[in-house]
Chains A and B, each alone.
Chain A
Amino acid sequence: MPEYFAGIDIGSTMTKAVILSDRIIAFVIGPTGPEQRRLADKVMEELLDKADLPLKALTYIISTGYGRINVPFADKQVTEISCHAKGVVFLFPGARTIIDIGGQDSKGITIDATGRTTNFIMNDKCAAGSGRFVEVIADSLGIDLDRVGDISIQSNSPAQISNICTIWAQQEVAARLAEGTPVPDLLAGVHRSLADRVVRMVKRLKILPDVIFTGGGAKNKGLVQALEEYLDAKILVPPEPLITGALGAALLGKEIFHRAVSKNQLLETKPRRLETIQIL
């Protein structure tokens, strides 16, 4: 009988879920939204539909991310740091450093060959160090977030964005736009500003290659380019950079389950029942 393992990563902006056996069976990505944190079951339903599996087929489920405690059917909670590490080394066995830029935070993680975390650093204090920075600027320029990367890499002369606060940077961008600075230069400047801040944080760790970039920020080509410039290193990006946390959670579940089996230990699991927690 095949074994299936699920990981669900409830981030501040996006919810990601993965089902795994000996390979990735299915994954889904959707917005967390103000109430979605409490509605993890909806995401799981969608994931099970996609995998064509019933909930009871899942052997072990791990939740991760900021909303990990709000997943009643998860058998275990693990922080996103450990899950990203595990997921990334599965995709890139040579990975030793991870940079993750999410919607509300950014992190640097150093890992060993087995995917174990050796050190980490997080910024969760300031929007200017997270994907929110780019989101706010894109919004104020009326540009779809998916397009900002492609537009910014057309720049030959990135603007200097000197404000370190998202709100003031938004004003600065508006002023530069009024002065006639081209949009690609403005966006390239915004990416450089974010990359500079994140690299300064991550440099507190011992950065070793391969450097892998994950999170929503990794879908932005302009940000990848800026990070490579500030790190002075080649950066690798997974095919779907948002799911590494959920993938790592599923992999950890598999590891935990097999360890328990090899030691003949009983592993506690939650009832396989989806329940919506009403908060309003």
Chain B
Amino acid sequence: MAEEQRKPKKRMTATKAAASIGPMVKEFITGTNRARAEGKRKLAYTFIVCHHEEILRAMDVLPVWTENFAGICGVKRAAERFLQKAESLGFSRSLCTYALCGLGFDQWREELGEMPPDAPWGGQARPDFMISSGQILCDPRTKWYQAAQQFMPDVPIYNIDLPHPLFDPKKDHREVWGYYHKYIVDQLRGLVSFVEEQTGKKMDYDRLRELVALSDRTWNLVHETYELRQAVPCPMGTGDAMNTMVPLCFMMATQEAYDFYVNLKQELEEKIARGEGEVEDEKYRLLWGGGLPAWYALNDFNYLNSKGASFPAETTYRMVVPIYEMDIPETDDPIEHIAWKWLGYWTHWYDKARNRPGSEPDVERLIEYIENYKIDGVVMHLAFSCRTWHVGLIWQLHQLAKIYRPIPVLMLGGNGKGDKVQRELPSLILESDIIDITSYSEMDTRNKIDAFIETLESVRQTKAA
């Protein structure tokens, strides 16, 4: 059933902004290799959504986003040989395949003393140090770099712990978040000391403050830009958002990222003014309700588009809420602000969930998008190797079905009498992996998509009747 490793068709984008991302990513990967050769800047392996980019950039450290590189290997259908390399070292294929790909690549590079042959976009540069963080979500993020130290014993690791209060329907998280804040601030100050030690430079706090302010402005701008996708027809879908997330996730605290969203916002406003949608004849509006995408199969978004399905919203990679909507204390200390921003984001849907008995924050987020973006159905992708996040998705769908009650539909039953029913929001669960193409079958996936489209159509016809 495995899809052969042929070169994927290029995914068509709906926006110029999304089309510009490929060269941008290539540049920051080749840029890290140039920097490695020049030896003027320190390179750090690290992970996205850790709220530490401002600290790294303020100290001129160049991040090497290891998950991003694994994703690139996936997009280019070039991950398999690195996965096999990791397997030959004794790592199980059922571990996080981002980590496996990175470990296979690192071992190969260290063994050769140069990049493995035909390494995508010149390969992943060797780091000077590694910054891990499992937050409270993802254990491979903590263990990955520890395993990588087998091949790079001279490269030190610093782990930042970034917890947030777990949701409790009976308790206001603000009662305890002060403790969390103090802890996170300590963690981040520890990171500053570690980076100072590694770079031999002192932190310039004025510069840090400026970069934090720039990140805040970018956050707000991303939110405002993505909210434009509520328009009917939707000007940009999730397929494009899997590209436009790049500046948000990998280039925060840079003017380039801010400028990217200025341009994207303008492009979307122009498309809306022209009445131009992601698809020519928008029939169904879908929510990408979670899961990382199958990076080697982004063309499936085009396939869905070809059936009249647009994706106005997604939870994946949309890791922002506007600063002005966060109920967090003000502070002039940039480290303290980063910590509050972290807590503000992760607890953003807590109050809403508390106000709806039986609800949960993740489900509230789905409901918010379903309502605001006029959603007809939910698509999720279960990536077998990412248990930390993906196992919760089905649970979220269950919770959604229990809590969320769409408008009742009056239907004529077989007996000719009116029959009031609660219409389920149709959902499609795709199953494969983030980069392990052996778990994917295009034929089966598209058969499921066809069936889902027919389901959406039948719901649409019933509503119309």
Q: Do A and B bind each other?
A: yes
A interface with B by C-beta (< 8 Å): 66, 78-82, 89, 93-94, 110, 112-114, 116-122, 124-125, 204-206
By a CB distance below 8 angstroms, the chain A residues around B455 are 81-82, 116-120
Nearest CB in chain A: distance from B349 CB, A: 23
Using known A-B contacts A116-B462, A204-B397, determine if residue A79 contacts B454 with beta carbons closer than 8 Å: yes
Say which one of B266-274, B282-290, B424-432 lies at the interface with A: B424-432
From B454, which residue of chain A is reached at the shortest CB distance? A82
Q: Give the distance to chain A from B134, nearest Cβ to Cβ, in Å.
A: 28
Which of A80, A93, A94, A122 gathers most chain B CB within 10 Å?
A122
B residues near A119, Cβ cutoff 8 Å: 424, 426-427, 455
Residues of chain B with a CB closer than 8 A to A121's CB? 429
A122 touches B448 (CB 8 A): yes
Contact A113 B413 (CB under 8 A): yes
> Once the chains bind, are B1 and A204 in contact (CB under 8 Å)?
no
Given A93-B414, A206-B424, A116–B458 Cβ distance below 8 Å? Answer: yes
Whether the pair B454, A113 counts as a contact (CB closer than 8 A) is no
Q: Which of B419-465 contact A (CB under 8 A)?
A: 419, 421, 423-424, 426-427, 429, 431, 439, 441, 443-444, 447-448, 450-452, 454-455, 458-459, 461-462
A205 to B401, CA, bound (A): 9
A124 CA / B413 CA spacing, docked (Å) = 32
B441–A124 CB distance below 8 A: yes
User: For residue A120, which residues in chain B have a CB less than 8 angstroms away from its CB?
Assistant: 451-452, 455
Interface size class on chain B is 20 to 34
Which residues does B use to contact A, with CB under 8 Å?
Answer: 1, 394, 397-398, 401, 411-414, 419, 421, 423-424, 426-427, 429, 431, 439, 441, 443-444, 447-448, 450-452, 454-455, 458-459, 461-462
Chain A interface, DSSP helix/strand/loop, else mixed: loop
Q: Which residue of A lies closest to B423 (CB)?
A: A118
CB–CB A204/B462 < 8 A:
no
* Besides A117-B458, A124-B441, 11 other A-B contacts (C-beta < 8 A): A78-B454, A79-B447, A80-B451, A116-B455, A116-B459, A116-B461, A116-B462, A119-B455, A120-B451, A122-B451, A204-B397
Report the separation of the CA atoms of residues A94 and B415 in the bound assembly, to the nearest whole angstrom: 10
Residues of B within 8 A of A116 (CB): 455, 458-459, 461-462
CB of B454 within 8 A of CB of A81, answer: yes
Residue on B nearest A111 in the bound complex, by CB: B458
B394: chain A residues at CB < 8 Å are 204
Determine whether the beta carbon of A113 is less than 8 Å from that of B397.
no
Q: Taking the nearest CB of chain B, how far is it from the CB of A264, in angstroms?
A: 19
Bound together, the chains give a CA A82 to CA B447 distance in angstroms of 12
Top-4 shortest CB links A-B: A116-B458, A81-B451, A93-B414, A79-B451
Expressed in whole angstroms, the Cα–Cα distance for A132 and B97 within the complex equals: 29
Shortest distance between the CB of A181 and any CB in chain B (Å): 31
A82-B461 in contact (CB<8A): no
> A204 to B424, Cβ gap below 8 A?
no
Cβ contacts under 8 Å, A79 to chain B: 447, 450-451, 454
Which residue on chain A has the smallest CB distance to residue B462?
A116
In the complex, are the beta carbons of A112 and B411 less than 8 A apart?
yes
Q: Given contacts A66-B447, A79-B451, are A114 and B411 in contact (CB under 8 A)?
A: yes
How far apart are the CA atoms of A200 and B24 in the complex, in Å?
44
